[in-house]
Amino acid sequence: MLALKPARGRPLKMYTTHEHWLICPTHVLWKFNSRTCEKPECFKCSLVSKKPPQLWRYTSMLADAGAHVDKFVSPSRYTAQMHAQRGFPYPVEQLPYFIDRADDDWQNPAPRPHPRPYFLFVGRLERIKGLDTLIHAWRHVGDIDLLVAGEGTYGETLRALAANDPRIKFLGALPQRDLGGLYYHALAVLVPSLTVETFGIILIEAFARKTPVIVRDLGALPEVVQDSRGGFVFRTEAELIDALGRLASNAGLRAELGANGYNAFVRWWSREAHLEMYMNMLRTLALEKLQRVPWEDSNVNAAAFPHAQLLQDPKGFQTILPSSHVT
């Protein structure tokens, strides 16, 4: 796939590392199905994970195919650095993710979806997402609920683990339109992942509603929190419980962290911010490869280059550019 090219022309080719597949056969750096990968033992890990050994990884195939890509990008500095540490032979540059603004969710909020104060978990119910650690910690949390939005293969186990705690409520999988109110009214959104995330889209979904976050100190999650000053980072259960207590007892602190997260979201992770970074990156790449910027050429042939007007006006991309894009 990396080596594919059109029959004619000189396209600009970018690859986004949405996960760690280029450096990990399981793509999530979850070693032996039990822990975060601290050093590669890929052949053995593939077998334990019940994945066919990918023998091409022990040849020059990836390096040869990667030579056909003009730029590799990742949504976080952490993920770019991890690729370098694991021996990926090409530089990886950061290009953050984005979501659309959801200002109406905090400007005209929906009624409270739950009568009691609550923290919120949103995500797949899988072992690597760490929800079981929240359930264990909730035994030491005050009279506050934990709402869980999502489904997955670990769901039955998690429900059984929380069966004796009426404060923990499973909402099932919800459409995006139903999450806005849940995000906005939550004391904070919790992301306790046990393996490294390449970014953490849930974080900016919370920030878009002025809601702070509490994340495990792992992967790209602390990077997003530290850049935004929009929440807390924890390493131990005691630190998690302390962060929960601080936000539950201090509405002013919650509002301050939520505002920090929102301002950072607008600055770095909104569609408008992403498009500006993306277009600057694309322009630089065009100059490096083509020594010109085709869409800035006044003599461009509209029939030969139908998206020229859109490239000159990034606002036009709002109808054609998804969050996962190919150039």
Calpha distance 33→20 (Å, rounded): 15
Rounded to two decimals, the pTM is: 0.88
Comparing 31-35, 169-173, 225-229, the range with the smallest average pLDDT is 31-35
> Does 324 reside within a domain?
no
Calpha distance 73→94 (Å, rounded): 5
Question: Residue 111 above 90 pLDDT?
Answer: yes
Q: How sure is the predictor about 325, in pLDDT bands with cuts at 50, 70 and 90?
A: very low
- The residue among 87, 190, 207 whose CA lies nearest residue 132 is 190
232-257 pLDDT, tens digit each: 999 999 999 999 999 999 999 999 99
Let me know whether 88 and 119 are in one domain.
no
Let me know whether 256 and 136 are in one domain.
yes
> Does 3 reside within a domain?
no
Neighbours of 20 (CB within 10 A): 25
Question: Residue 311 above 80 pLDDT?
Answer: no
Q: Give the pLDDT confidence score for residue 296 in this predicted structure.
A: 85
Let me know whether 264 and 191 are in one domain.
yes
* Domains contained in the chain, number: 2
Orientation of helix 221-228 relative to helix 251-264, angle to 10°: 100
Let me know whether 117 and 265 are in one domain.
yes
Q: Give the pLDDT confidence score for residue 298 in this predicted structure.
A: 66
Q: Which pairing describes strands 118-122 and 145-149: parallel, antiparallel, or unpaired?
A: parallel
Domain that holds residue 303: 14-98+271-319
Q: Give the pLDDT confidence score for residue 321 in this predicted structure.
A: 35
Comparing 32-36, 51-55, 308-312, 315-319, the range with the smallest average pLDDT is 315-319
> Does 327 reside within a domain?
no
Question: Residue 264 above 50 pLDDT?
Answer: yes
Let me know whether 67 and 154 are in one domain.
no
> Does 78 reside within a domain?
yes
**Average pLDDT of the chain to the nearest whole number:** 90
Question: Residue 319 above 50 pLDDT?
Answer: no
147 within 8 A of 169, measured Cβ to Cβ: yes
Let me know whether 62 and 119 are in one domain.
no
> Does 181 reside within a domain?
yes
> Does 308 reside within a domain?
yes
Let me know whether 151 and 279 are in one domain.
no
Let me know whether 218 and 306 are in one domain.
no
Q: What is the CATH number of the domain that holds 231?
A: 3.40.50.2000
